[in-house]
Amino acid sequence: MSEQDTKTKETFLRKVQKTLPESSATDLSLISRAYDFAKSAHEGQMRASGTAYFEDHCLHVADHIIDLGMDTPLICAALLHDTIEDTKTTAKDLQKEFGLEITRLVEGVSKLGKIKYHGNERHVESLRKFFVSVAQDARVVILKLADRWHNLETLQYLPIEKQQRIALESIMIHAPLASRMGMGKLVSTINDLSFPYAYPDEYKKTKKIMDGMISNADVSIQKMHRSLSADLHNTLHYLPQIDERIKGTYSLYKKLVRKKWNTESIYDLVAIRAIVNNVSECYQALGAIHSHWRPVPGRVKDYIAVPKPNGYQSLHTAVFSGDGPIVEIQIRTQAMHDYNEYGIASHHSYKNNRVQKGSDKESFAWIEQLRELQKTNLTTNDYLTQLKTDFFQDRIFVFTPKGDVIDLPAGATILDFAYAVHGKIGEHAGGGRINGKFMALKTPLVSEQIVEIVTNPKARPSDKWLEMCITSSALTSIRRQLKKQRQTI
């Protein structure tokens, strides 16, 4: 190792220790071994930017994983995440070296590499479900999102067509998944990095409007910030943390579209956010704010009493600032704030007993916590259930040769697949190639196979076909086509 290499590694390990002070010597030595293993596996490999693959990608992904507060197995998996896909390393090698848990994480993320969005809106939901079903473990989704996050940060080095495909894919697939897991910060990061590449004209238009609105609001926001500090200090007898959050460009764009580009009806471009000590102070603060500034009717939202489906909690109000524009104020506790930003990846949500009280939580075993979380009666249950593979046990996800995902019930055959792709393709299906090998129409499919339908102009539905498929859409089409045949005879 060169002097520079040693330094880079030391800096990384110091960051681990600083961010996760509870990590043991065993953790650190495991992370150190994963670091060395991945570095040597990627030796000589370059990124599109012309820099070293390990240092300029894998290491950044691991950094993001640490920033998200994840634990040792996931940090190791992040360092190793491209070894199966891009180097000679096999799953067997990894298992020998790092055990089953880390290997499964890397394997999961490698499988997700297959997902590609080809602009087919119809398949977006299938793609998202496929993503979750393959992941099997929510940590794999988080790892894939961190990987995508860094790829988006370095998108400028890729050819233009690739930039747009990846950006669109991220907005359609990755950001909604992050949202479902309550990882608000990651949602806006992914969307805002993608937006300029996905929709360049809309981005320019939005950015211009945004800059104008911000400079207009600036003075009154500063004024309000100051008097809010004084008010809350008076009410709570300490100065809570107050800051401004600016809405992301993509989120503003979506809102502008909803409001027909009427900027007057957008109050939350810049919102003031106060973080207080506990729930009762949230309501005290709200009272203090309303006794000073007149609230806009219908704009008070209590997401503490009624959290959003992904677990988001906060009080929102919009008030008339007097001489300036209407300003949105958000009030929440630190635990809520961490949860809103990091969702199920949030350390704090566990430590500050939002979901768990007084259990043995010294060792941070993430998946254990997930199970605990599932036992509780929070609305977060909804999306955590979505993340369980069981949920998808009755579904299979099969690829077209182009990489589109077709979502079918378990037991579906090549013929079902043909009809799911297109009625015309179904009608003239002669057979199919599963991973390149020709098979009969009645062959049942298994998740992750790549299926190509071989059409034959002479092929046509017969009564036998009704026994070769199980989906109602295929059966209905076949019956209709059979009826038509009889009429023409």
Residues with catalytic function = 85-86
Least distance from C-beta 82 to Mn ion, angstroms?
Answer: 5
Residues of this chain, 172-231, that bind Mn ion according to CB under 5 A: none
Which residue type does 476 have? T
Least distance from C-beta 57 to Mn ion, angstroms?
Answer: 6
Site size for Mn ion (CB under 5 A): 2
Identify the CA nearest to 41 among candidates 57, 65, 60, 25: 57
The DSSP letter of residue 328 is E
Calculate the alpha carbon distances from 136 to 81, 125, 131, 487, 488 in Å. 16, 17, 9, 49, 50
Instruction: Specify the stretch interacting with Mn ion by CB under 5 A; choose among 114-122, 142-150, 298-306, 415-423.
Output: 142-150
Least distance from C-beta 155 to Mn ion, angstroms?
Answer: 13
CB 78 within 8 A of CB 61: yes
Site mask for Mn ion (CB under 5 A), range 26-65, x = bound: ----------------------------------------
Please, which residue, 137 or 147, has the CB nearer to Mn ion? 147
CB 70 within 8 A of CB 61: no
Axis crossing angle, helix 72-80 with helix 25-41, rounded to the nearest 10:
10
Site mask for Mn ion (CB under 5 A), range 270-299, x = bound: ------------------------------
Longest dimension (CA), the chain: 89
CB 285 within 8 A of CB 232: yes
Please, which residue, 77 or 344, has the CB nearer to Mn ion? 77
Identify the CA nearest to 345 among candidates 22, 35, 75: 75
Residues of this chain, 71-90, that bind Mn ion according to CB under 5 A: 82
Identify the CA nearest to 74 among candidates 316, 347, 304, 321: 347
- Position with the least CB separation from Mn ion: 147
- Choose which of 107, 147, 341, 416 interacts with Mn ion (CB under 5 A): 147
Least distance from C-beta 113 to Mn ion, angstroms?
Answer: 8
Please, which residue, 109 or 266, has the CB nearer to Mn ion? 109
Please, which residue, 147 or 328, has the CB nearer to Mn ion? 147
The C-alpha atoms of residue 229 and residue 138 are separated, in whole angstroms, by: 40
Instruction: Specify the stretch interacting with Mn ion by CB under 5 A; choose among 141-149, 233-241, 267-275, 300-308.
Output: 141-149
Residue indicated by tokens 């009280």: 357
Identify the CA nearest to 151 among candidates 136, 169, 124, 125: 169
Identify the CA nearest to 141 among candidates 90, 167, 179, 185: 179
DSSP string, 387-441: HSGGGGTTEEEEE-TTS-EEEEETT-BHHHHHHHH-HHHHHTEEEEEETTEEE-T
Least distance from C-beta 206 to Mn ion, angstroms?
Answer: 29
The DSSP letter of residue 82 is T
CB 279 within 8 A of CB 332: no
Which residue type does 228 have? L
Please, which residue, 106 or 315, has the CB nearer to Mn ion? 106
Please, which residue, 147 or 427, has the CB nearer to Mn ion? 147
Least distance from C-beta 185 to Mn ion, angstroms?
Answer: 20
Calculate the alpha carbon distances from 73 to 106, 328, 410 in Å. 10, 40, 32
The DSSP letter of residue 2 is -
Please, which residue, 143 or 412, has the CB nearer to Mn ion? 143
Q: In what order do the strands lie in the sheet with 451-455?
A: 437-439, 429-434, 451-455
Please, which residue, 57 or 354, has the CB nearer to Mn ion? 57
Strand-strand pairing, 405-409 and 395-399 = antiparallel
CB 242 within 8 A of CB 301: no
Please, which residue, 146 or 252, has the CB nearer to Mn ion? 146
Identify the CA nearest to 190 among candidates 158, 156, 146: 146
Least distance from C-beta 20 to Mn ion, angstroms?
Answer: 22
Binding residues vs Mn ion (CB under 5 A): 82, 147
